[in-house]
Amino acid sequence: MGEDGLSDRDLPQVLDAAQVARMLRLNLDYVRKLSREGVLPAHRLPGGRTFRYFKDEVLDWLRAQPVGSAGEKVAEPASAVPRDDVVDGP
């Protein structure tokens, strides 16, 4: 059981963004951003603006994320879009 008194067993099979944010201990806006970008597996209901998530898909996604040791650079996901507005060096 987590600090907030919830375990993943307490959560329903279909989650909203706030429940996913609590489960992953991420900011709600960041969860929504990952969903819009297609990084985090999410589903939109027809005609809806909100996302819904299958708990098992979110947990599978989390398990598939690379883990690096401290100081080790972890490769960005394939869905990351390179930014042209970032300049390296002076």
HSE of 57, CA atoms in CB hemisphere, 13 A? 15
Q: Evaluate whether residue 79 is within a structural domain.
A: no
E strands, 1-90, in order: 14-15, 43-44, 51-54
pTM of the model: 0.65
Q: pLDDT tens digits, residue range 45-77?
A: 888 889 999 999 999 999 999 987 655 655 555
In the chain, the number of structural domains is 1
Q: How far apart are CA 90 and CA 44, in angstroms?
A: 43
Q: Evaluate whether residue 36 is within a structural domain.
A: yes
Enclosing domain of residue 36: 14-63
Distances, alpha carbon 40 to alpha carbons 26, 29, 70, in Å? 12, 13, 24
Q: Evaluate whether residue 24 is within a structural domain.
A: yes
